């Protein structure tokens, strides 16, 4: 679980908001009570726009609890933008995710990193090329 509890996971589930808007909300509150007390008007002022959708915070809390339970069962961890564990280079991209889900452990930010991003349904040729690129990078020490 995140060091702020489940509150950032609830914020990540807020519908109709961009990752950047979710990060604004994460940065503006300290705990779940702050989120519960945050009015629609205050949220709209913070985001600088009218909200098109309303949300049921109790429903979102229940969904976040289910996600937390399923994540634990599948050994999936998550880290929020508010956490010191959030990858520093990921903070620098345009529109970083408010919450990052991962398996294993987060990489050491002091070491060189390489990420390969692709489709969930790659062709056989794409799999072969990705394997070659990853092997070449690994052999080069990247």
**Contacts of residue 89, Cβ cutoff 8 Å, sequence gap at least 6:** 109, 113
Residue 2 within a domain: no
Beta bridge partners of 77: 102
Kindly state whether residues 98 and 121 are assigned to the same domain. no
Give the structural domain span for 142. Answer: 112-142
Residue 1 within a domain: no
Per the structure, how many domains does the chain have?
A: 2
pLDDT tens column, 44-77: 999 999 998 888 888 999 999 999 999 999 999 9
Kindly state whether residues 97 and 117 are assigned to the same domain. no
| Model pTM above 0.85 | no
Helix (H, G, I), strand (E, B) or coil at 12: helix
| Banded pLDDT at 10 (limits 50, 70, 90) | very high
């Amino acid at each position: 679980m995140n060091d702020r509890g489940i509150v950032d996971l609830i914020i990540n589930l807020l519908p109709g908001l961009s990752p950047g808007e979710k990060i604004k909300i994460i940065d503006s509150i300290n705990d779940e009570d702050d989120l519960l007390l945050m009015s629609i008007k205050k949220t709209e002022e913070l985001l600088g726009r009218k909200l098109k959708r309303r949300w049921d915070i109790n429903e979102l809390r229940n969904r976040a609890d289910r996600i937390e339970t399923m994540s634990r069962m599948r050994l999936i961890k998550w880290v929020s933008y508010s956490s010191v564990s959030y990858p520093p280079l990921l903070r620098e991209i345009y529109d970083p995710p408010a919450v990052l889900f991962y398996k294993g452990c987060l990489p050491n930010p002091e070491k060189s990193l390489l990420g390969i991003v692709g489709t969930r349904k790659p062709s056989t040729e794409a799999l072969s090329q990705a394997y070659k690129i990853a092997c070449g990078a690994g052999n080069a020490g990247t």
